[in-house]
Amino acid sequence: GPLSERRLMDVRLGELPTWLATRDISPQGLLGGVQKAWSSYHDKYINVRRGGPAGISMLLAGYCLLSYGWNYQHISKISFLLSL
């Protein structure tokens, strides 16, 4: 179908910039996108009858990576590494 209505996984690599241009970048659009992503994740992994560790473990792993990324500058300093 037309470029503006395709999902991310159906967009080819060369069309990525144009596809990004067609998306709704305003705050409401971003908020709506975040909400949709969260609700689809929730419905797929958490809102089921017999879930497993998968639901929260992925969230925790993501949080670990994110916090490592935020603290990388601080961790990699030689003074921090020598103080232990």
Partner 1 sequence: ILHSRPLHTTQQCLAPLPPLPEKGGEVRHGLIPEEFFQFLYPKTGVTGPYMLGTGLLLYLLSKEIYVVNHETVAGACILSIIIYGIKKYGADVAAFADRLNEEKIAKVAAVKNEAIKDLETAIEEEKKEQWRVEGRSYLFDAKRNNIAMLLEANYRERLLMVYNEVKKRLDYQVAMQNLKRQKEQDHMIQWVEKNVVQSITPQQQKESIAKCILDLKALSKSAQAAV
The long-range contacts involving 36-40, CB below 8 angstroms and separated by at least 24 positions, are none
Site for partner 1 in 7-46 (CB under 8 A): 44-46
d(CA 20, CA 5): 11
Query: Cβ–Cβ contacts within 10 Å for residue 55, how many?
Result: 15
11, 48, 66, 79: which one binds partner 1 (CB under 8 A): 48
Contact window for partner 1 (CB under 8 A) among 16-24, 30-38, 47-55? 47-55
- Cβ atoms of 3 and 23 within 8 Å: the answer is no
| Closest approach of partner 1 to the CB of residue 55, in Å | 7
Would you say 21 or 62 has its CB closer to partner 1?
62
State whether residue 12 is helix, strand or coil: coil
Chain residues binding partner 1 by CB under 8 A are 44-55, 57-58, 61, 68, 72, 75-76, 80-81, 84
